[in-house]
Amino acid sequence: MQTKMLSRFLSVLLVLALTAGLVPAAWAAGGVPSESGRDSSDWSLFPSARVDGVTLDRDSLSLEVGRHETLHATVSPSSAFDQDLSWYSSNTGVAEVSNGRVTALSPGEADITVTTDDGGFTASCHVIVTAAVPVTGVRLDRTELTLTKDGESATLKATVSPSDAADQNVFWTVDDSGVISVDQSGKVTAVGNGAGTVTVTTADGGFTAYCTVRVQFPSAPPTLSLNKTSLSLTTGSSETLSATTVPEGTRVSWSSSNNKVASVDQSGKVTAVGTGTATITAIPEGGAGATCAVTVSDPSYLTLSKTELSVMFGKTASLSVSNLPDGASVSWSAAEKNIVSLSPSGTGNANCTVKGVTAGKSVTVTAVVTDRRGNRLAAPACTVTVTAASAPDITSSVASGGSVTFDESKFNSACTEVYGNKLNYVTFTLPSSSRGTLYYNYSNGTYDQKVSESTKYYYGGGVFKSALSKVSFVAEPDYSGKVTISYSAVDTSGYSYTGAVAITVSEPTGSIEFSGAQNEVIPFDAGDFNALSKEITGYGLDYVHFTLPSSGKGTLYYRYDNGDYDKKVSSSAAYYYDDSPYLEDVSFVPARNWSGTLTIPFTARDTKRNSFSGTVEITVSRTADDIMYSVDRNGSVAFDAGDFNSFSRSATGSSLDYVEFTLPSSNKGTLYYNYDDGDYDEKVSSSKRYYRNQRPYLENITFVPARNYTGTVAIPFQGSSADSDSFSGTIRVTVGGGDSGDIEYSAAVNSPITLSSDDFNDYCKDETGKSLSYVQFTLPATSRGILYYDYDDGDYDKKVSASTEYFLSKSPYLEQVTFVPAKNYTGTAIIDFTGESTGGKAFSGSLLLSFATVKDPGVIYYTTDAQEVTFRSSDFSSACDKRGGAGLASVVFQRPPESAGRLYYNYGSPTSYGGLVDDDTAYEVDGSPSISRISFVPKAGFSGTVTIAYTGTDESGSTYTGYVQIGVTPSSSSSYFTDMGRYSWAAESVDYLYENGITTGVGATTYHPDGLITRGDFVLMLSRAFRFSVSGGDNFKDVPAESYYAQAISSAKALGIAQGGSDGRFNPSASLTREDAMVLLQRTLNRTGHGIDDASASYLNRFSDGKSVSSYAQGSVAALVQAGVIQGDDAGNLNPKGSLTRAEMAVILHRVLTL
């Protein structure tokens, strides 16, 4: 028996041992662990751990909708290893279950079943769900509650009906948190006196019940406080104290401790009776009182400097307190605001400056004096009256016979100085009619009516109100002097005052001078009239009326041009500075052969409607051309008295008496008297007269040029006729037929010429051997033009003066002198000048200014196929010469449309050039930057004519607009290869690359356009086009060192252009896809300074196969699509994975190089 038992025990041990060995084997064999982490396939090894059943703690359950309850399951045996369970409901619309928790969802029945994971044993509970009972109301255990202590509390009880209602939840609120508070258990707490309501509300249905709570704390005795605890008064003065009681309205009784010092009535008014101290007590009924200490002093020794004061509006006056004790201070105040302003000063603020602010009012100013402890000692007062200020005179000026319109703003300014208010209206006292007249709405002799003394003229005017701004004074033509016009005014506050308008009537001041020769048109300069207007009135010119001259002397015309004109000037017409008819278009045409001086009176008005008058003084000289001689180099020429006699007759109408000379520079030649082959009596003197019919004879004067001098010598002279009429002129001697030696400029008609100080400096060096110091000019006739200083498009600082020296290196600067020709003047204006060098040597010369009507420049034409076109300076010079003006100096180009091409400077190749031509640089004919270094490069694919505008500047400084037209006609066949027939669309691109050394053929005359471009060949093309300058080091392992593209690929690798694959290979002999070509192109542009950023992939959406572009290439392909390099095929495809042909490569590269 024992043996058998031992045998069984050993058997069990053997089983356990085998089981321990099998568990890891089962894991290794891929047994799947259960949710508990154990392998369910091995439970057979543990028969004692298997589940054999499951039970629930109940088999039926009743719930209301919204309620829940938990079922508890028991697995047997309790030692079962797998205790895991699964729960489910037979009707999830009625009840749902989760880990035994059953929730009722809607009325009905459902079975809740639990199932063991081990063995699938089940147990069920039948659930019946009924509808929830709703709330129908709520009530409180009390509806009134009284609390009598701060913080006292009581709890209210709420009962929800019916008692079996599903939702028994309520919440609590109060209507006045300052009286009571309540928590969510219904506990009510007293906070402050008063009454409040507690409300309970059901969560289901919102039913309410209320309880009124009264909080009544025991009342406190009344309290009182005074507005002051101390008070200083002077005998005879009084002040009322203010008492504040709690509760408000409590009766107060007042008393004084010493009625001989201070008494008090039952309103709190304290009256100072005698000097000393007293205590004023105020007691509330039933409560404790408060006191105020009163000090009464004698104020008789503290007085103000004035008890009455008058101050003018806007002016100031002074007040002061005398006998101020040490440490005392004064506080100044006015009984009303905005009548006076007070500015205290001095020790203890004893002094006060009073300024009048509102005229016509009075105010009491009080000085409250307090001692160092703050006790009030005295409060003397002064009555201040603000009186009106006197109105300042309103001044104006006008010329005799002129008019001036009143400026209403001046009247308003005068009004504000009187009372400080704005003006309402004025009435005038009329002036003497012998001095002038007041008119309403006056304009150039017409008016609505004369001003009436009974009419009110309002500031700002208005409906049915006469406007002050339309009142004008017109001075009598024969009166000059002062006119005073009195007026009465009323301001906007109803205050009245009087004033006066003081008008100075002056005789015409200033005149304008013009000059010209016989039978020469003399245009008027509107700028002179505008300058005179500013000089007389201070304002610019509006218009002018002329008094017409005698027709025997000449006529004023409007828009006169070589005998044609718009109309004659009318005396009734106004000619405007800035409007039509324009004063600038008025000209004086002298009567045929008339000469002399003419005065033309005029009246004018400025931009502020002020009138003035003046005169135009016109001098017409007799026509007398320069006396001209010529002589060989190193020769001599004798003067002919007959020439001077003819000059005198032309200039004065009478024969010659004598002549005086201004001597020429000895560097140019010398005037001798009785000269004979080197011998002479004397040199001609500038202080001696040489006569026609008596000694010394004019006939005996000879000019001998300086040795080897050639050029033109100007010799000014002055003379007198037999009738004692003076005249002047110039002898011009041309020596050797060479250059004139003068300073010459030329320009188009109506084009100003600004003088070059360098030209005068060079002239001075030629004449004296030293640099220029200054120059003085003989002024030309205004019929030919005017010299201005600091001229700029019609504006100028001043006219050049004959007495002013214009310097090379200091102000006034010679380089700021400009000659403005008379309107439409053509011909040569000669302006003589004298000067002095820095060495103090004098010289003279002539300035020749030629003006001609110029034509449009010629158009410059070029043609090309697709190659660059280089401009020639000579073409631009020829175009400029066709204008008929001065020669070309420089050109500024406008940029051509980018769709046609670009202008480059110093163009060598597509990637080697000096830069783009900009529209701010002047390119010169002979200097640098040169026009001949500019090239136009057509954009790939462009065909047609491009027009490039330019602005030319000629040697006179005149500018004009010209045009270059370039015809671009791409060839449909190649000039170098015979196999491009079917690829005519690529012919121009192939030739472009060939001519720039970028590509070659596959034979002497063949290009093989349909051949596929390899990766190595494409990099080689890029290297040639963009001239890779980096020498590569190592290369890709599959690029033979001896290959023709090895160096190009090595450089491209060093630059980061060629990147190869992860295996270190580049596959140079493989055909190149279109998308890889775009990637290489973009990298090349970015690495060589022609940056082109990635573009949005949305640019690919326009192509039907755009989405097939590889992700790594999308940015590059999109960028080149955006730039117009890639355009797709006829079917709208990109064909990104397709191989690139040699023809396609040429077109793409051509487009890139001409972007």
* Residue 1032: pLDDT band with limits 50, 70, 90: low
* Residue 185: pLDDT band with limits 50, 70, 90: very high
Residue 307's pLDDT is 92
| For residues 971-983, average pLDDT | 90
Closest to 537 in 3D by CA, of 577, 574, 506: 506
| For residues 1098-1125, average pLDDT | 91
Q: Which residue has the higher pLDDT, 828 or 472?
A: 472
Residue 623's pLDDT is 64
Choose the weakest-confidence range: 537-541, 667-671, 1021-1025: 537-541
Mean pLDDT of the chain: 88
| Cβ neighbours, 10 Å, residue 740 | 17
pLDDT at 393 over 90: yes
Cα separation, 989 vs 942, whole angstroms: 11
pLDDT at 8 over 50: no
Cα separation, 986 vs 866, whole angstroms: 12
Q: Return the sign of the alpha-carbon dihedral for residues 719, 725, 726, 728.
A: negative
* Residue 741: pLDDT band with limits 50, 70, 90: low
| For residues 1045-1056, average pLDDT | 90
pLDDT at 719 over 90: yes
Counting residues of the chain whose pLDDT is more than 70, the rounded percentage is 94
| For residues 467-482, average pLDDT | 89
What domains are defined for the chain? 53-130 (2.60.40.1080), 137-215 (2.60.40.1080), 223-297 (2.60.40.1080), 304-387 (2.60.40.1080), 394-506 (2.60.40.1080), 511-621 (2.60.40.10), 627-735 (2.60.40.10), 742-849 (2.60.40), 859-968 (2.60.40)
Go through the chain and tell me how many residues it has: 1155
pLDDT at 1132 over 90: no
pLDDT at 412 over 90: yes
pLDDT at 811 over 50: yes
pLDDT at 24 over 50: no
With beta carbons less than 8 A apart as the criterion, state whether 320 and 352 touch.
Answer: yes
pLDDT at 1114 over 70: yes
pLDDT at 28 over 60: no
Q: Rounded to two decimals, what is the model's pTM?
A: 0.39
Residue 411's pLDDT is 96
Tell me the per-residue pLDDT of 660-672, one tens digit each, with 9 for 90 and over.
Answer: 999 988 888 999 9
pLDDT at 1037 over 50: yes
Distances 799 to 813, 908, 1084 between C-alpha atoms, Å? 13, 52, 63
Question: For residue 521, with 0-12 CB atoms within 10 Å meaning exposed, 13-18 middle and 19 or more buried, which class applies?
Answer: buried
pLDDT at 621 over 90: no
Phi and psi torsions of 903, nearest 5° = -100, 130
| For residues 860-867, average pLDDT | 88
Q: At what angle do helices 1142-1153 and 1015-1026 cross, to 10 degrees?
A: 30
Tell me the one-letter amino acid at 56. L
Phi and psi torsions of 1021, nearest 5° = -60, -45
Q: Which residue has the higher pLDDT, 321 or 375?
A: 321
Choose the weakest-confidence range: 430-434, 879-883, 884-888: 884-888
* Residue 21: pLDDT band with limits 50, 70, 90: very low
* Residue 698: pLDDT band with limits 50, 70, 90: very high
Residue 31's pLDDT is 37
pLDDT at 2 over 60: no
pLDDT at 593 over 90: no
pLDDT at 3 over 80: no
Residue 39's pLDDT is 42
* Partners of 505 in beta bridges: 398, 481
Cα separation, 138 vs 161, whole angstroms: 6
Q: At what angle do helices 987-995 and 1142-1153 cross, to 10 degrees?
A: 70
* Residue 158: pLDDT band with limits 50, 70, 90: very high
* Residue 253: pLDDT band with limits 50, 70, 90: very high
Tell me the per-residue pLDDT of 52-99, one tens digit each, with 9 for 90 and over.
Answer: 999 999 999 999 888 899 999 999 998 888 899 999 999 999 999 999
Tell me the per-residue pLDDT of 1069-1106, one tens digit each, with 9 for 90 and over.
Answer: 999 999 999 999 999 998 888 778 898 989 999 999 99
